[in-house]
Every structure is written in structure tokens, then in C-alpha cells.
Amino acid sequence: MSVFDLTKRRWLFCMTHPDDEISICAWIRRLTANGNEVYVSWTHSTPVREAEGRNVAKLLGVAQDNLFFHGATDGRVGGEYKELMPVFQSMIEHVQPDVIACGAFEQGHPDHDTTNVLVNSVFAGEVLEIPFYHSYATKLQTMNSFSDPTGQSILLLSPEEVQLKRQIAKLFVSQNIWSVLLWFEIWHVLRGRRSHLSSREIMRTQGHKVFRVPNHPPGLAKRVEQCETWRTWCEHVLPHLPR
């Protein structure tokens, strides 16, 4: 059964950085157009990035009162995990979501992993994960794909939704996200491959919740474990998790 389910009435999208919602913006727009209740939070924010996030939310039909900006420090969210836990707990108690969607625990960015762990630490309901990009153990990271696609659902986008996604990418003017996405597509073309970056969205029910090990096939997981980024993240977050 697809996780792209309009019958789940109240959705909370826990993003990490304003611009992460590009990965799932067409689905958010479908939900609001259907009349579902949609909330969005961002673990990191600054005044500029908050303004960008609010403008995009308006375009997606998400009410401004349904937005949460937690103000964590970019690149240091893991070190602020303990302080963020009650903030996430309070937000989830306020929203009472039927389902939460967040970036996958995929070692693309330690801040993304921290948000994922925060969600799973304080929410006992259904958690869906979205592939942003992985992994920091590789020179060129993979976007919009799980390293192991088991259990994933794919939402194919209409031409109008493809244009919406590209329009939204251009609204994050404080970031270089539009150029990154453009060059990723060009790189695929040069390698003789088709890029689905702007034409599909992917989610699945999160199954991997053993956060002491990377969420990848064995070979890639071993490479991640050898990274200083992984070891630093573990030092910040794992002491706060139950064994």
C-alpha cells in the first residue's frame, strides 16, 4: 500500500532546513488542496531562511499558524539534541498528527539525522521518511533515492507539479539549492542516465530505528562508520538515547 495516502487527515512535516521541503512539496500541495490539515516545522532557522520558508508555505497552501521554526544552529543540531527534545515534544502534543514525515536517517547531513531521531524519540505514531541525499562517505552524494529502496512508494508528478517544484527551488535565494539541483540533473544526463529529481517524490514507512548503526547496505554502512562526521554525531546524540 502506498504511503501517499490522502485519508490520513493531519500531517506534520518535520524538515531540518528551510529548502528541505523541495523534496516533498508536490505532495504537500496535494494534501492542502484535498483539505487535509498540514503542519511544517524546521529544526534550523534564521530570519532570512524563515521568511523563505513562510513564502514557500504560502505557495503550498499551508497556513502560517501551522509553521514552527525551532532556531537550532546549522551544522550543530546534534549538539543541541537535549534542548530540542522538549521542544519537539511540545510541538507534537500541540499538533496531534496522524503521521509525521521527515528526512530519512541516511547520513547525508548530521542535522537531518538528528531531526529524524528527535521525531522517533518523542512520537509513537507512524513515521514516514523522505530521501534527501546520502551519504557523506561518498564524494558525490545521491539525491532523491534510498540506498536500499525496499518498501518505498513513488509519487509521479504532473507537468504542473514539476514546474511547481522548480519554482519553489528558485525561491530559496539565500541558498544555492537551485544550482545544486540543476547540476545534479546535468551530471545525470552527461552519464547517459535520466534524472527523476524533479519528476517524482518518494517516501516509505521508516523501519530502521537502530540509530547506533548507519542505515545503508553493509558496504556503504562500513564506509560511513569510518567517517569522522559519523563519529562526531554519535558522540553528541547517542548518549541521550536509551540502550
Query: What pLDDT does 39 receive?
Result: 98
First to last CA, the chain: 32
How confident is the chain (243 residues) per 10-residue block, as mean pLDDT?
A: 93 97 97 98 97 97 98 97 98 98 98 98 97 92 93 96 90 71 49 69 96 97 97 97 82
Report which secondary-structure segment, H or E, holds 116.
helix 110-122
Distance CA 22, CA 165 (A): 6
Query: What pLDDT does 185 receive?
Result: 56
Query: What pLDDT does 173 receive?
Result: 86
Other C-beta atoms within 10 Å of 65: how many? 6
- Cα-trace Rg, the chain: 17
Give yes or no for a contact between 21 and 58, defined as CB atoms under 8 angstroms apart.
no
Query: What pLDDT does 178 receive?
Result: 47
With a CB cutoff of 8 Å and minimum separation 6, the contacts of 34 are 6
User: DSSP assignment, residue 22?
Assistant: G
Query: What pLDDT does 186 receive?
Result: 42
With a CB cutoff of 8 Å and minimum separation 6, the contacts of 137 are 107, 220, 223, 224, 226, 227, 230
Query: What pLDDT does 152 receive?
Result: 98
In the chain, count of helices (H) and strands (E)? 8, 9
Query: What pLDDT does 136 receive?
Result: 96
Other C-beta atoms within 10 Å of 128: how many? 22
Query: What pLDDT does 190 receive?
Result: 45
Distance CA 241, CA 34 (A): 38
Give yes or no for a contact between 113 and 76, defined as CB atoms under 8 angstroms apart.
no
The domain segmentation of the chain, as residue ranges, is: 10-240
Distance CA 85, CA 180 (A): 31
Distance of CA 87 to the CA centre of its chain: 18
Query: What pLDDT does 140 receive?
Result: 82
The percent of the chain in helix, strand and coil, each rounded to the nearest 5, is 45, 20, 35
Give yes or no for a contact between 111 and 49, defined as CB atoms under 8 angstroms apart.
no
Superfamily the domain 10-240 falls into: LmbE-like (3.40.50.10320)
**What is the crossing angle of helices 81-95 and 110-122, to 10°?**
50
